[in-house]
Amino acid sequence: MEDLVIKGGTLFTMNGSIIENGTVSIEKGVITFVGKEMKEKAHNVINAKGCAVLPGLINAHTHLPMTLLRGYARDLPYMEWAQKIRTAEAKLAPVDVLAGARLGALEMIRSGTTSFADMYIYMDEVAKAVEETGLRAGLGYGMIEGLNEDSLTKLKNREEFVRKWEGAAQGRITTMYAPHSTESCSKEFLIKVRELAEKNGSRIHIHVLETEDELNLMKKRYGMCSINLLDNINMLGPNVLAAHCIWLSDGDIGILKNKEVNVVHCPSSNMALGAGVARVPEMLEKGINVALGTDGAASGGSLDMWKEMRVTSLLHKSKDPRTMPALKVLEMATVNGARAMGINAGMLKAGCLADIIIVDLEKPKFISCDLISSLVNGASGCDVRTTIVNGKVLMEDHKIIGIDEEKIIKDARKATTGIIC
């Protein structure tokens, strides 16, 4: 007997087919069947009639606890924004980070994100929030060289974090090394990070060429840009999540392709901070795996991946409306995100992790000749009815299950007030 069966919905498998009135069966956290009606019984049956059933969305770059700083440094250029945010972050205690991470997890569950890649401070607290809320995450303890700890202590502590949390939360947590950027970490420090990642078989999550200032500083400091520096120290490969990648040359794109680096596009944050527009269409055309991320809510405004899809779809059409078709954008938020994080998800397919969302289509905006286009360009987090991670229902019919939503919001509001007042 299956643990859970979803019946009657329109299945967007992200595996080459759309199945009307389809069925998805789940056992022990894994999808066991995707197709038309099946006769097997289940402990729990969800009626998805009138709904779209999709793999859960994957937020491949964010800073979850920054929900506490949403809107705090609004409408400022990047350097002024960063200075104001870091001043506020210096006031954060672990209890605040936990409150912000719980709030971010709640926002993700409500908007259909089932997996995310995160880097921040006090990451043990973020890991606790993942354990409690049921989400899936790739977690990296952020590293800015020279801040708070000496380099050797910092590296030792980050390795301890990796050993402590890898495979935790019933396998829902994977760990990464997360040097902030080439701007904030020396070449020598980055080499040590790469060596630790190789030793532990871990992924690396890093900001790359987010601003023109970074590009100019790297050229002044090393005579080359961040991509070339990382390439020269053998830090680039398919185990790397490179967030932003805005200020790329043609040669940089070639390196990212040759080294099979995963790029994470964060369009809302990039625009909010005036950082520029990444060359996503060219990267996709070259075969680079480009995923989507919201970045932290302090810059991007929200953790709603539907917004990121809509912005991505429209932003890159300014010169050619054929650019960034809806299916490609949806792939970035599902299949590409799973590949970037190294998880067997992003599709409705037997053998894949049972990370699934159900979206209510019984709304005027979904009366459409092309449902994929309507979802990408019209859906929002509020349209997600049910969220399932690892076969466990975290939200059903818009009702959060197993966590105290009211307390999470209350605690986060208290933490925010303590930081910005």
Tokens of 317: 């059409």
What's the chain's average pLDDT?
Answer: 96
Tell me how far apart the alpha carbons of residues 266 and 31 are, in angstroms, rounded to a whole number: 30
Report pLDDT for 8.
Answer: 95
The alpha carbon dihedral of 4, 381, 287, 223 has a sign of negative
Report pLDDT for 148.
Answer: 81
> What's the pLDDT tens digit per position in 127-179?
999 999 999 999 999 999 988 888 999 999 999 999 999 999 999 999 999 99
Which backbone phi and psi does 354 adopt, to 5 degrees? -85, 70
Report pLDDT for 40.
Answer: 67
Tell me what the mean pLDDT of segment 170-198 comes to.
97
Q: Where are the domains of the chain?
A: 2-55+345-399, 57-341
Q: Cα angle at 56 between 302 and 405, to 5 degrees?
A: 55
Which backbone phi and psi does 387 adopt, to 5 degrees? -130, 130
Report pLDDT for 420.
Answer: 73
Torsion over CA of 213, 218, 221 and 223, rounded to 10 degrees? Answer: -130
Fold of 2-55+345-399: Urease, subunit C; domain 1 (2.30.40)
Element (H, E) at 226: helix 226-232
Compute CA distances 76 → 66, 81, 176, 334, whole Å.
Answer: 16, 5, 30, 31
Share of the chain above pLDDT 90, in %: 93
Tell me how far apart the alpha carbons of residues 57 and 153 are, in angstroms, rounded to a whole number: 36
Strand 18-27 to 2-12 pairing: antiparallel
Q: Which amino acid is at 111?
A: S
Compute CA distances 363 → 21, 50, 237, 339, 360, whole Å.
Answer: 18, 10, 43, 32, 7
Bridge partners of 384, per DSSP, are 359
Tell me how far apart the alpha carbons of residues 126 and 115 are, in angstroms, rounded to a whole number: 13
Strands (E), 18-127: 18-27, 30-35, 42-47, 51-55, 57-62, 113-120
DSSP state of 209: S
> What's the pLDDT tens digit per position in 241-275?
999 999 999 999 999 999 999 999 999 999 999 99
Residue with tokens 């409306």: 321
Report pLDDT for 337.
Answer: 98
> What's the pLDDT tens digit per position in 370-380?
999 999 999 99
CB 374 within 8 A of CB 38: no
Tell me how far apart the alpha carbons of residues 396 and 185 are, in angstroms, rounded to a whole number: 44
Tell me how far apart the alpha carbons of residues 275 and 246 are, in angstroms, rounded to a whole number: 8
Report pLDDT for 350.
Answer: 97
Report pLDDT for 262.
Answer: 98
Report pLDDT for 217.
Answer: 96
Q: Is 48 exposed, middle or buried (0-12, 13-18, 19+ CB in 10 A)?
A: buried
Report pLDDT for 308.
Answer: 98
The alpha carbon dihedral of 88, 127, 356, 239 has a sign of positive
Tell me what the mean pLDDT of segment 23-52 comes to.
90
User: Does residue 80 have a pLDDT over 80?
Assistant: yes
Report pLDDT for 318.
Answer: 82
Tell me how far apart the alpha carbons of residues 118 and 127 are, in angstroms, rounded to a whole number: 10
User: Does residue 205 have a pLDDT over 90?
Assistant: yes
Q: Which amino acid is at 240?
A: V
CB 385 within 8 A of CB 360: yes
Tell me what the mean pLDDT of segment 66-87 comes to.
93
User: Does residue 38 have a pLDDT over 90?
Assistant: no
> What's the pLDDT tens digit per position in 347-406?
999 999 999 999 999 999 999 989 999 999 999 999 999 999 999 999 999 999 999 999
Considering the domain 57-341 in this protein, what is its CATH number?
Answer: 3.20.20.140
CA-only gyration radius of the chain, Å: 21
Report pLDDT for 2.
Answer: 75
